[in-house]
Amino acid sequence: MEKLDRIDRRILEILQQDARINISDLADRVGLSQTPCGRRVKQLEASGYIARQIVVLDPIKIGLPVSVMVQISLERQTKERLKQFEEAVEAIPEVMECYLITGSQSDYILKLATRDLEHYQQILLDKLTSLNGVQSIITNFIIRQPVHRTAYNLEHIARG
């Protein structure tokens, strides 16, 4: 990890909360003039600290209120089988996140965004069960989400 100072850390904290902030306001909040602040943002982007800037939508407002966690076990965990599975899952638009995990009976955990239970059933029957090499599927419906963060804690970076 490259050395970041407290200003870089503050820039990252602010951008995680509001990526649309204009450079003038960002510069004011971190105590720099616009040009050096803009240079720092560009450097943070170039060095990979800022992977991308996105807009986070409200799933209820866009008609996808049902979040589902799906645990999937594969018949075999070969490098080729894992790659095939991951490519197939990436092609399913309802899959919002996919994690290869350890310490469980499952090999993967997927997070899906769906319209309702019928929509999930359609995905399960038409897409998930037809994936090559799937041994078992366990479904968990999310009742509520008491914590939802998109911003990482940066306290360990450039204290002060």
Q: Are residues 88 and 126 in the same domain?
A: yes
Average per-residue pLDDT for the chain? 95
Q: Does residue 35 register a pLDDT over 70? A: yes
pLDDT band at 159 (very low <50, low <70, confident <90, very high): low
Q: Are residues 77 and 116 in the same domain?
A: yes
Q: Are residues 137 and 81 in the same domain?
A: yes
- The residue assigned the tokens 């503050």 is 10
Q: Are residues 36 and 88 in the same domain?
A: no
Q: Are residues 101 and 137 in the same domain?
A: yes
In a domain, 158, yes or no: no
Number of domains within the chain: 2
Tens of pLDDT along 68-103? 999 999 999 999 999 999 999 999 999 999 999 999
In a domain, 10, yes or no: yes
pTM of the model: 0.88
pLDDT band at 9 (very low <50, low <70, confident <90, very high): very high
Which CATH number is 72's domain given?
3.30.70.920
Structure-block tokens of residue 146? 């008491």
What are residue 89's phi and psi, to 5 degrees?
A: -70, -35
Quote the pLDDT of residue 3: 83
pLDDT band at 20 (very low <50, low <70, confident <90, very high): very high
Distance CA(146)–CA(154), nearest Å, equals 21
Q: Are residues 38 and 75 in the same domain?
A: no
Range of the domain at 32: 6-46
Q: Does residue 1 register a pLDDT over 70? A: no
Which CATH number is 22's domain given?
1.10.10.10
Q: Does residue 11 register a pLDDT over 60? A: yes
- Please say whether the beta carbons of 32 and 40 come within 8 A: yes
Stretch 39-67: mean pLDDT: 96
- Work out the number of other CB atoms within 10 angstroms of the CB of residue 106: 20
- Please say whether the beta carbons of 79 and 45 come within 8 A: no
Q: Does residue 18 register a pLDDT over 60? A: yes
Structure-block tokens of residue 100? 């290869």
